């Protein structure tokens, strides 16, 4: 999908915005500037804001390691496109994929059936009643990305500095409509659709948050995202120093630690023991803009999930991590075992 792109005016615009708003403080409770080993690498990406994304986490003793996770670049990332998309929508999705392949991340994409995909893009029926897993009404896009953590022992600290972790799957949900100011559905313009696809693919590639200074395609501002979509449709590429910085670091790069609340490390230990004794597949970590979870899959592909509601807020406030209160967590806290 490689094409020759004309000079990118958006790069200049983005650079000017960064000069104006680059002093906006990161919203996270973590700090990539402490990565002394990669200081020279990160210095190449002026304006990068990796600290704006909530990192992934891996339980390790009485605390959890915070780390970055991305797709490996040695092989193409396999992507499936929605069967119900129009020809114009397919053109827009391929344009967004091409934009990321030309953004300096070292990524290549190849289209495959959904069963073989690393990134599955779905087009949601706007008339359907959406359940919470698909995001609220009026939301033009919603993405989940799953990071697989491989480990040879109970402790992740056997690999100091970098965990054996990489993204393995992401699901991108796109709505062809958005809600107007009074809640009525309005069809997305071509610029909006391409911009939303570009933005959600950025989440799928490992950046779970939004830029606090709104100066890039990962801005939470729909107006900014639309500008990037328009630029792609006019043949201009774009730059994302934040995603480029993410892909310049090894997947699994550890940023620091956060403590568990009293008793929560034992919840993790019981879950880990149960997963091993049951032969479950995993471990997987999923981090969204506010919540997070770790999970395993059994032989029927059902998931056993430890959720962390309010994960991002806990990190920002520098408070201890606490798991949720769902059935699985309650069972683990009660020391009971699931019924046969």
CATH number at residue 240: 3.40.390.10
Task: Give CA separation, 92 vs 86, 196, 237, 279, in Å.
Answer: 10, 10, 14, 42
- 227/280 Cα distance (integer angstroms): 45
Does the residue 285 lie in any domain? no
Question: Which residues are CB-contacts of 207 (< 8 A; sequence separation ≥ 6)?
Answer: 53, 218, 242, 243, 246
Count: domains in the chain: 1
Checking DSSP bridges between strand 63-67 and strand 56-60, what pairing results, if any? antiparallel
- 207/190 Cα distance (integer angstroms): 24
Residue 7: the pLDDT is 30
Longest dimension (CA), the chain: 63
Does the residue 237 lie in any domain? yes
Which two structure tokens, joined as six digits, stand for 211? 């830029």
Q: Please give the chain's pLDDT, 340 residues, in tens.
A: 322 222 333 333 343 333 333 445 444 457 787 787 888 899 999 999 999 999 999 999 999 999 999 999 999 999 999 999 999 999 999 999 999 999 999 999 999 999 999 999 999 876 664 543 434 445 689 999 999 998 543 444 444 689 999 999 999 999 988 777 887 778 899 999 999 999 999 999 999 999 998 889 999 998 999 999 999 999 999 999 999 999 999 999 999 899 999 999 999 999 999 999 999 998 999 998 789 999 998 877 678 999 999 999 999 888 999 999 999 999 999 864 444 4
Does the residue 34 lie in any domain? no
Residue 258: the pLDDT is 92
Instruction: Phi first, then psi: give them for residue 78, nearest 5 degrees.
Output: -85, 130
Q: Give the end-to-end CA distance of the chain in Å, rounded to a whole number.
A: 51
What is the side-by-side strand order in the sheet with 119-123? 109-111, 77-80, 119-123, 165-174, 141-149, 281-287, 292-297, 303-308
Does the residue 77 lie in any domain? yes
Does the residue 159 lie in any domain? yes
The domain of 121 spans 70-248
Does the residue 276 lie in any domain? no
Residue 153: the pLDDT is 38
- 133/46 Cα distance (integer angstroms): 36
Checking DSSP bridges between strand 165-174 and strand 119-123, what pairing results, if any? parallel
Does the residue 257 lie in any domain? no
Does the residue 41 lie in any domain? no
């Amino acid at each position: 999908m490689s094409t020759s792109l004309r000079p990118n005016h958006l790069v200049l615009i983005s650079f000017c915005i960064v000069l104006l708003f680059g002093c906006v403080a990161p919203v996270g409770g973590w700090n990539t500037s402490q990565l002394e080993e990669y200081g020279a690498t990160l210095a190449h990406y002026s304006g990068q804001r990796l600290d704006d994304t909530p990192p992934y986490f891996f339980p390790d003793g009485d605390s959890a390691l915070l780390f970055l996770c991305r797709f490996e670049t040695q092989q193409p990332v396999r992507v499936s496109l929605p069967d119900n998309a129009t020809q114009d929508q397919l053109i827009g999705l391929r344009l967004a994929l091409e934009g990321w392949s030309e953004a300096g991340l070292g990524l290549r994409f190849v289209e495959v059936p959904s069963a073989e995909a690393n990134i599955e893009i779905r087009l949601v029926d706007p008339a359907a009643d959406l359940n919470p897993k698909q995001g609220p009404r009026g939301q033009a896009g919603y993405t989940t990305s799953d990071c697989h953590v491989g480990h040879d022992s109970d402790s992740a600290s056997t690999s100091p500095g970098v965990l054996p972790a990489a993204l393995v799957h992401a699901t991108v949900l796109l709505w062809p409509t958005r809600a107007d100011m009074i809640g009525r559905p309005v069809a997305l313009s071509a610029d909006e659709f391409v911009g939303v696809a570009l933005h959600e693919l950025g989440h799928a590639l490992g950046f779970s948050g939004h830029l606090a200074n709104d100066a890039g395609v990962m801005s939470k501002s729909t107006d900014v995202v639309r500008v990037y979509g328009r630029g792609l449709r006019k043949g201009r590429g774009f730059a994302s120093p934040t995603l480029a910085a993410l892909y310049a670091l090894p997947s699994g790069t550890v940023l620091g630690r956060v403590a568990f609340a009293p008793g929560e490390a034992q919840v993790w230990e019981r879950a880990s023991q149960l997963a091993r004794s049951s032969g479950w597949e995993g471990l997987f970590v999923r981090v969204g803009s506010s919540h997070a979870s770790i999970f395993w899959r059994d032989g029927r592909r059902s998931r056993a999930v430890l959720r962390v509601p309010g994960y991002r807020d806990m990190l920002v406030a520098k408070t201890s991590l606490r798991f949720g209160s769902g059935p699985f967590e309650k069972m683990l806290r009660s020391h009971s075992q699931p019924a046969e």
